[in-house]
Amino acid sequence: MHTDRRIFMAGGAASLLGACTPLPRLQDLGPKHQGTWIEPFKANRRNLMKVTVCTRPFRPAGPRLEVERFGSKTVVHNYGHGGSGWSLSWGCAAETASLARSQGHTDIAVIGAGVIGLTTAIRLVETGAVVTVYASEFPSETRSARASGVWSPSSRIALADRVPQGFADRWERWARYSHAKHLEMLGLADDPIEFVTQYNLRGRSTPRVRANREYLHLDRRLRGLNPAWGDPDPERDPFSAKLRRKGPAMIFNVARYFDRLVRQFEAKGGKMVRRTFANRTQLLSLPQPIIVNCMGYGANAIWDAEDLAPVRGQINWLLPQPSARYALYYDGVSAVSRRDGVMVQYLGPNEDWGYGDPGETPDPTETDRALETLRRAYE
């Protein structure tokens, strides 16, 4: 199956009408075909809760997981995951923990409280290490909290001509390990992980613009990992002739997921300290002999990660719509109905969109474009 590489994988199910709710007119029910319809997202500014901007830490050679020594200190790096941090977190955490524990010490500092930092800290605690997380931002304040929250393990993971030999095999191990850990969270009371249905729609005939960079795409190596997507069924599916493909996709309910990670880390004996480091010297003065760097884009300033590039992403958050539990992709816009709101994001004409842009100020014109395009999907 070939899908647009810019599509974030997410989705939801068609809504059910409440037994005591008056039936609306058919023309108000949204896309329909032979009696089948789906409730449209309320894509207008009246339902807009907030607009957030996230800077993804993109590294052309792929995530950096390796050991570096500074005198008596050993630093283990785990950063540069592009748009794949949530998806690859557990696999990268397992490899990083193994590197850290191989140094012969149990007292370990983890720098950064995003999803990479927290999963790494949890994996280290599970090996018997004494772990302290140091971070200037706690989980709900981090860039990870502003992520789209979808299973996208190769989203801007690297450039095809920059990765070292064997990277694809290493990436596949991270992805499969992480996927298995995510499946363990299905069915939990707080729903940190869900599968929902995504509808990919045919858009207008807009010429595709070729990206300036050749991004590495590895999704084919995971075929069969998730349930298969299917062709449209004109007797049952909404969106009529616009529907191109549909299928189940994994989403992360980030707020609940983060809360679960924090509680899990603290229950296992981990400690979290709020601290800001102005430079590398301050960081290396920590008492722990092993320091695990999970700073994401922040590694640029402290560790001279000059090859780390920012990739800007803006998300427009609509009020939660529990009766519209699905997602769709249409004309460069992804919409995902999560439990904490409907995420609407313009993804640009190609994967270069947002590359090299460290800005974190919301752009109102981008918001208007995303909402207008989403409304057109129901015409």
Per-residue pLDDT tens over the stretch 24-63: 333 444 555 444 678 999 999 999 999 999 999 999 999 9
Cα 49 to Cα 17, 192, 298, distances in angstroms: 25, 21, 28
pLDDT at 321: 96
Q: Which of 3-7, 98-102, 178-182, 249-253 has the lowest mean pLDDT?
A: 3-7
Q: Which of 169, 143, 172, 168 is nearest to 158 (CA)?
A: 168
Query: Strand pairing of 341-346 and 333-338?
Result: antiparallel
**Whole-number Å distance between alpha carbons of 114 and 134:** 11
Is 305's pLDDT higher than 90? no
**Tokens standing for residue 204:** 């207008």
Cα 135 to Cα 138, 196, 291, 301, distances in angstroms: 6, 33, 13, 15
Per-residue pLDDT band for 12 (boundaries 50, 70, 90) equals very low
Within 8 A by CB and 6+ apart from 341, the residues are 49, 317, 318, 319, 320
Query: Strand pairing of 309-318 and 341-346?
Result: antiparallel
How much is the mean pLDDT over the chain?
89
Alpha helices, H only, 245-358: 254-267, 280-284, 299-302
**What mean pLDDT do residues 314-337 have?**
95
For 283, left (φ over 0), alpha (ψ -120 to 50), or beta?
A: alpha
pLDDT at 304: 86
Is 84's pLDDT higher than 50? yes
Is 208's pLDDT higher than 90? no
**Whole-number Å distance between alpha carbons of 331 and 373:** 7
Q: Which amino acid is at 199?
A: Y
Per-residue pLDDT band for 10 (boundaries 50, 70, 90) equals very low
**What mean pLDDT do residues 180-206 have?**
90
Q: Which of 21-35, 108-122, 270-284, 358-372 has the lowest mean pLDDT?
A: 21-35
pLDDT more than 70, % of the chain? 90
Local structure of residue 221 (DSSP, 8 states) = G
Domains of the chain with bracketed CATH = 59-182+254-309 (3.40.50.1100)
Per-residue pLDDT tens over the stretch 92-127: 999 999 999 999 999 999 999 999 999 999 999 999
pLDDT at 287: 97
pLDDT more than 90, % of the chain? 79
Per-residue pLDDT tens over the stretch 148-175: 999 999 999 999 999 999 999 999 999 9
Q: Are 237 and 243 in contact (CB under 8 A)?
A: yes
**Whole-number Å distance between alpha carbons of 75 and 146:** 27
Alpha helices, H only, 314-379: 364-376
Q: Is 11 helix (H, G, I), strand (E, B) or coil?
A: coil
Is 16's pLDDT higher than 50? no
**Whole-number Å distance between alpha carbons of 223 and 226:** 7
Q: Which of 52-61, 89-98, 133-142, 226-235 has the lowest mean pLDDT?
A: 226-235
Q: Are 183 and 248 in contact (CB under 8 A)?
A: no
Q: Which of 111, 113, 182, 109 is nearest to 143 (CA)?
A: 113
**What mean pLDDT do residues 199-219 have?**
86
The more confidently predicted of residues 280 and 7 is 280
**What mean pLDDT do residues 357-363 have?**
94
Instruction: Specify the pTM.
Output: 0.88
**What mean pLDDT do residues 124-140 have?**
97
